Structure 1
Amino acid sequence: MKILHTADWHIGKRLHKTDLAKDFDLFIIWLCEYLDENPVDVLLISGDVFDFSNPSSESRNQYYKTLIKLKKFDLKIIITGGNHDSPSVLEAPKEILNQLDIHVIGQMPDEFENCLIPISSENNIEIIIAAIPYLRSRNLQRQFDAESHDNKQEAIRESISFHFQETSKLAKVKYPGVPIIGMGHLFATGVSVSESERDIQIGNLASLEVSHFGSDYDYIALGHIHKPQRLQAETPIFYSGSPIPLSFSERKNEKRVLLIDTEISFEPESIAIPKFRDLVLIKGTLAEIEEKLEAIEIKSQLETLIEIEMLENEFSATLNYDLEQMIENFEKPSCKIVKHKVTFKNMAKVERGVSTTESQVSDFTPKEVFLKKLEGVDENDQTKLELISAFEEILEELNRNEE
């Protein structure tokens, strides 16, 4: 049996106001071409289907059209919710999708048994998928109660571990001798993250160790981290990563999907996804930037996006003006400068903040804005951690009310 693992589609994502819908469409075109030549039995999508909990009608339309395209290949599709997804939005068409052999678990069911999806071939159950979505506070608090922030973080880890281990134990009892593949959307210890991972737990406070998953799984298909990587464990535990770059920090990452052929091994084969758009980060003096802009070569199908950081020693209003003029007059075909920043090395921090082209509030998530505000608060680390925890609970409650 062949199983394809992907995650973190983030349909509706914009990168500095540039819509990445075309990038995603090209990924799906490539994926369909791959499936046409390399049939698979199951497609796993481990969370963050959408970039926003309340996706636009255009994003929903793109999602449903994608499912229709993929179903032409006669494969079972299993989708779990991520932290960006609204469980109610994902599960709204659940009954209809089930008839198409598309299984959606947007939120953790009340019964662990409802996470187990048996995969059959020739009337024999060959694989069990333990489809565990992103676990929210209300799921975790049912299992544990903690008074202090430190205890709460440990309780979160233990509760996530409890969900994974209880689900796998149940699978072992119901389907003895059948291999188990787990799906999860979470932050694990030791992973490398990028700018686009929003609402990552701060300071590894709630990150999972590989031991938390238990020893019953044959493979664990994770989402949440956009850089493809494997956890250091005896069991193959992989983040497939996002299929397209979602931030400039991902510009050098090789994007991929993972193919598991259970007849050979549960060690996956990495299938590289072509690059559809170049993201270019240019740093240097004004003269160096001008030279590097001129040297850019267009190699991708979609418009190249450029981020600029001018680095000069001494403050100069003239240099600021010249950079603005350079950007305004930039007309290279299939290229667009989407963000720029100025840093003068020999300036006081306060002066630098006034004279530098700063990021706008719209560039940040609510949690990122809160964390930046917290940097200037005169409180000890423990109090700050408690404030972060309280903010996360309020934000989740607001998101739930919007749904």
Structure 2
Amino acid sequence: MKFLHTSDWHVGKTLKGRPRLDEHKAVLAEIVGHARAKDVDAVVISGDIYDTSAPTAEAQRLVIATLLALAKDDIEVIAIAGNHDSGSTFEAFRPLMGVAGINLYGQARAKDKGGVYSFTARSTGEPVNVAVIPFLSQRYAVRAAQLIAPGDNVPARNVGSYDQWVRNIVDHLQGGYDPDGVNLMTAHLTCTGGAFGGGERMAQSIFEYHVPAAIFPIDTHYVALGHLHRRQELPAGCPVHYSGSPLAVDFGEEENTPTVLLVEASPGAPAKVTDLPLRSARRLRTVEGTVEQLRAAAEEYGEDWLRVRVKQSTYAGLRDDIIEALPNALEIHIHSDFTNTGSGKVSSVQVAAKTPAELFAEYCAHVGSDDERVRAMFDTINDELTTGR
């Protein structure tokens, strides 16, 4: 049977105040196009469908339309909540989405209470079982493990070990596998040794949130992970893959290659994975140069979203000049070579002994500004404030 693995859509994401809904619309249309072209049996979405737990109406309309488009083509849709999503909202809409043929999971469940979703692949007639593990916070991992597999809990000395609680849940869900079928698992979590994409929520990615890839059962044909935005495979006893985000979420991800994964799996055979590139989103790009150099290269940058590092000292109006030349510049910084990187530490006594003009002149020197007009403006404003005019 064949299915697509995707995750970390982050629909509703804005980048430095710029909406990206049109980009998401194009990328999700690409994913639907791949699903139809490859005639897949299912699409597995491994969490962080939305960028926030309270997505806008526009973001929800786009996601629902995408999921319905897949379901209307008789494609099984299995989607779990990530740490950016609202698991409780997913659960509230679960019955309604189920009527439409969309399987939504906001919380971990026992294997016989929806924790393993089973269906028959329409292309091959093979039985398929998908164990689902939505994002688990440190606190909820303990609660979920106690509710799902109370008899499997480890001794009290291990209470608080996120790793162990997740292992308990994985071991329990494995009991829902069929030795004659295709057995899959999808989870939203951080695996030890995984490479960060650059735009993850770090507080829910590090320290106690790590689990080793070795926890996944060897008889799993494929593990579909979400949370890390970089496409990667982790060494384990079974195929363990992050699909990565379908578009660069932030500038830390500008070197990532957005993909959706085509997975072909059969009972008794290792899964075959093919990367399908996604090209609809605008590129994120860091560029450097003087104002004149950047202006001269403006046509080369096209519609890319830009992070600009200016390689000259600042001056009054520099930002306006950059924006005029590069309307898609979202971040503008003075390159570190043109700023004073010293400690800048001064005592309160030193500050008190200097006039506002002297302090401002020192600040300008610290940030690399050498513009007489800026200092003249400061002098005018300071004069107005101190004389009451």
Scaled by the length of structure 2, what TM-score is found?
0.78
- How many Å separate the matches in 2 of 1:134 and 1:65? 24
1:95-151 CA-to-partner distances (Å, cap 9, x unmatched) read 122122211111112566421111214695521100111112343223479999xx7
Which 5+ residue runs of structure 1 have no aligned equivalent? Answer: 358-403
In structure 1, the residue matched to 2:271 is 266
Q: 1:92 to 1:37 in 2, by over 3 A?
A: same
- How many Å separate the matches in 2 of 1:112 and 1:299? 54
Moved more, 212-221 or 30-39: 30-39
Residue aligned with 1:77, SS? strand
**Alpha-carbon shift at residue 90 of structure 1 (Å):** 1.8
In structure 2, the residue matched to 1:13 is 13
- How many Å separate the matches in 2 of 1:25 and 1:63? 9
- How many Å separate the matches in 1 of 2:311 and 2:301? 27
- How many Å separate the matches in 1 of 2:367 and 2:155? 44
Please tell me whether Structure 1 or Structure 2 has the larger radius of gyration of its CA atoms: 2
In structure 2, the residue matched to 1:188 is 191
In structure 2, the residue matched to 1:156 is 162
How many residues align? The count is 338
Q: What's the Cα RMSD here?
A: 2.9
1:283 counterpart letter in structure 2:
E
**Alpha-carbon shift at residue 68 of structure 1 (Å):** 2.3
CA contact (8 A) 2:7 2:46 kept: yes
Scaled by the length of structure 1, what TM-score is found?
0.75
CA contact (8 A) 2:30 2:280 kept: no
CA contact (8 A) 2:214 2:237 kept: no
Q: 1:67 to 1:74 in 2, by over 3 A?
A: same
- How many Å separate the matches in 2 of 1:161 and 1:120? 27
Equivalences for 1:346-361 in 2 at 5 Å? 346-350=340-344
Give aligned-pair identity as a percent: 26
**Alpha-carbon shift at residue 206 of structure 1 (Å):** 2.9
**Alpha-carbon shift at residue 207 of structure 1 (Å):** 1.1
Residue aligned with 1:291, SS? helix
- How many Å separate the matches in 2 of 1:68 and 1:272? 23
- How many Å separate the matches in 2 of 1:254 and 1:224? 16
1:339 maps onto 2:331 in alignment: yes
CA contact (8 A) 1:221 1:240 kept: yes
1:166 maps onto 2:167 in alignment: no
Residue aligned with 2:328, SS? strand
**Alpha-carbon shift at residue 349 of structure 1 (Å):** 3.4
CA contact (8 A) 2:246 2:260 kept: yes
In structure 1, the residue matched to 2:49 is 49
Q: 1:201 to 1:89 in 2, by over 3 A?
A: closer
Q: 1:157 to 1:276 in 2, by over 3 A?
A: same
CA contact (8 A) 2:111 2:172 kept: no
1:272 counterpart letter in structure 2:
P
In structure 1, the residue matched to 2:319 is 324
In structure 2, the residue matched to 1:134 is 135
- How many Å separate the matches in 2 of 1:345 and 1:356? 5
